[in-house]
Amino acid sequence: MKKERIIWAGVVIILISIIVINFSIPGTKATEDDSRKYLDLFGRVFDSLKNSYIEKKESRELIVGAINGMIKTLNDPHTSFLEPKEKENLEIETTGEYGGLGIEIGIRDNKLTVISPIEDTPAEKAGIKSGDRIVKIEGESVVDPDLGKIVEKLRGKPQTKVTVSIEREGIDELIDFTIMREVIKIKSVKSDLIDDIAYIRLISFRKNASLELKSILSRYINKKKIKGIIIDLRNNPGGLLDVAISISDLFIDKGLIVYTKPREDSLPYYSALNKKFYSQAAGTIPSNIPIVLLVNHGSASASEILSGAIKDHKRGILLGTKTFGKGSVQSVVNLNDGYGLRYTTAYYYTPNGTKIHNIGIDPDIELDIPNLSKDEIKEIAKLKEKDLIQTFLKKNKNPEKKEIDKFISEIKGNQVNLDERILNRIIKQEIYRDKKMPLYDLDWDIQLKMALDILKSEISGILNRN
């Protein structure tokens, strides 16, 4: 017991020392006194519970519980005390390969919310969407969600299943998804040419994304002589800050890309976190090549840094829907015995001073892809039960467009009440069930189609002016 008191006394002395250092500036004497007073109060409570509570509690249990309670008062889903396993999970996330479902999650209005499903992962293939709210995992309600613990529940051995129940806007009932876990390997950049326009799907801002993108664009510009670029940031949950800056740097000749601003009295960290990041490469991509960025509610963090820089510098057009609004800087502190603290230390601001966090970035042109209605989801289920598409594809192994159009006209309004655009999409998904789906589908993707129309009009205007 004496040893326990000595250890606790040492912890309090260390905490007080830190507070004295951080508050040894003019005008903070009252705050310092308050800190000493409440740390003493905390010590008394700890002593009482440790020594006299009816059930014996370990020091670790009491102190970790107190730390988590302190963090909970911040009401910040991006700040958390990391137990060793959670800290390990955080480190795994930045490697680009892990076992799980392939979704980026956050907490909005105290609900576990899908920021975005990551492309080509089990979650995306199952039909999980940005904005879905996960309310149950394996039938157990998600109450007061703790991100670290949720990640542990969703991850598991490859080829094992997990069932999540979600709320989706516009649909009354919960939707259950049973998803097979896989090893998640994330490729950062995919690309293709649509006529003389480069279509770039930027999936994440991971370690080599900037080099991949630069290589692809340089090849297109030098060999293919492209006349426009579409950068698709939809459902891109972000990634590394330095990668976001490097990619922004490819398009912006000069000037500010983003800046971070901490709390003004957050010494001794203020100078380290009060940073401005400027363009260095003098615009690798020629400024006469027009750009459209596709964004949606699943575009977050590093995606918003790139979007804000492009928009404020008027280097391109943003098309889609408002971005997610995750614009806070987290610092990770390594603590004893494998523990860590991940906490918010600053906010991101676009070149024009727009705060990103909890606000998001508005597109220049707003256009949404409509969600399936409750009735349409039921019609799709009915369509699958009847095996109409499977029967059609057994007779037509590689159907041409005219054969698909004829089939749709036969069943539409007769055997199934679905829009032609939706039917076309379902048939294509079935055709490509066991092979790689094309990178884009202009019959389905109205946002991409409009981006192409805008660029072709812009290119035509440039040619006419010349």
Hey, which residues are catalytic here? Answer: 301, 312, 326
Query: What is the rounded CA–CA span in Å between residue 308 and residue 125?
Result: 30
What is the identity of the amino acid at 426? I
Secondary structure string (H, E, C) spanning 240-293 = CHHHHHHHHHHHCCCCEEEEEEECCCCCCCHHHHCEEEECCCCCCCCCCCCEEE
Across the strands, what pairs with 275? 260
Distant-in-sequence, close-in-space partners of 33: CB < 8 Å, separation ≥ 6: none
| 118-151 per-residue burial string, b: 16 or more CB within 10 A, e: under 16 | bbbbbbbbbebbbbbbbbbbeeeebeebbbbebb
Query: What is the rounded CA–CA span in Å between residue 375 and residue 388?
Result: 18
DSSP 27: T
Count of C-beta atoms within a 10 Å radius of residue 331? 15
For CA atoms 295, 297, 298, 303, the dihedral sign is positive
Query: What is the rounded CA–CA span in Å between residue 384 and residue 153?
Result: 31
C-alpha separations of 135 from 7, 145, 373 in Å:
41, 9, 20
Q: Residue 92 corresponds to which tokens in the numbers above?
A: 């795994």
Query: What is the rounded CA–CA span in Å between residue 395 and residue 340?
Result: 59
Count of C-beta atoms within a 10 Å radius of residue 27? 8
Residue where the block lists tokens 């400027």: 278
